[in-house]
């Protein structure tokens, strides 16, 4: 289950990277690089922080093949993907939901405090997108007032609360990841945002 979630998160983030790279009219090499850093950027930082080196994607070529395959799929079927911004948002949201629980589980395996585990989950989910946006000359979503990292934190808190109940771990994974996705979707739909300390 854990491995499957990791692969699904990789696919979702790789596709979101491809979509934004194509919107910037990058060449095939640029598209592949953006797909790659979006998919593994957060996980790479997470693994380095917990001293797990070589990082996970370097030890398992499946991730490289999945990223390349996802990138090729997104490019070939780009004309079938309607509403580019909507698609980018959807895949990015799915990615943060899946990667949040993956990062938390990595922290638990490293026997870290729950607060640190939630931080690792947030890093896993958000920092691939941060690197993607910086390379694409965009202000990273996490640094704007949108509900993004907050959704990951709420999902992380729910994960640890659900662990206290007699629920199957796989169900806990699914519920926590779904909470991240739902919070992010609702925040965008109803234009819910964190307060700012400056005037518009």
- At 104-146, the pLDDT tens digits run 999 999 999 999 999 999 999 999 989 999 999 998 888 876 7
The partner residues of 193 in beta bridges, in order of sequence, read 146
Among left, alpha and beta (phi > 0; psi -120 to 50; other), residue 25 is left
- Mean pLDDT, all residues of the chain: 89
Amino acid 27: pLDDT:
94
Residue 172: partners with Cβ closer than 8 Å, 6 or more residues away: 159, 162, 163
pLDDT digits (tens, 9 = 90+) for 36-75: 999 999 999 999 999 999 998 999 999 999 999 999 988 8
Query: Of the ranges 17-26, 123-132, 170-179, 189-198, which one carries the lowest mean pLDDT score?
Result: 189-198
Q: Quickly state the pLDDT bin for 9 (edges 50, 70, 90).
A: confident
């Amino acid at each position: 289950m854990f491995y499957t979630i990791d692969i699904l998160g990789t696919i979702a983030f790789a596709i979101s990277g491809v979509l934004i790279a194509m919107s910037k009219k990058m060449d095939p090499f640029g598209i592949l690089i953006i797909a790659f850093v979006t998919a593994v950027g957060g996980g790479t930082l997470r693994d380095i922080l917990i001293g797990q080196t070589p990082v996970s994607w370097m030890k398992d070529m499946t991730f490289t093949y999945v990223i390349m395959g996802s990138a090729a799929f997104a490019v070939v079927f780009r004309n079938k993907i309607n509403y580019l911004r909507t698609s980018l948002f959807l895949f990015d949201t799915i990615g943060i939901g899946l990667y949040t629980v993956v990062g938390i589980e990595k922290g638990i395996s490293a026997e870290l405090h729950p607060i640190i585990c939630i931080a690792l989950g947030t890093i896993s989910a958000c920092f691939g997108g941060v690197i993607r946006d910086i390379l694409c000359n965009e202000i990273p979503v996490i640094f704007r007032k949108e509900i993004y990292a907050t959704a990951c934190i709420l999902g992380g808190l729910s994960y640890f609360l659900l662990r206290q109940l007699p629920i199957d771990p796989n169900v806990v994974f699914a519920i926590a990841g779904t909470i991240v996705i739902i919070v992010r979707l609702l925040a965008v739909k109803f234009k819910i945002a964190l307060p700012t300390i400056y005037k518009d």
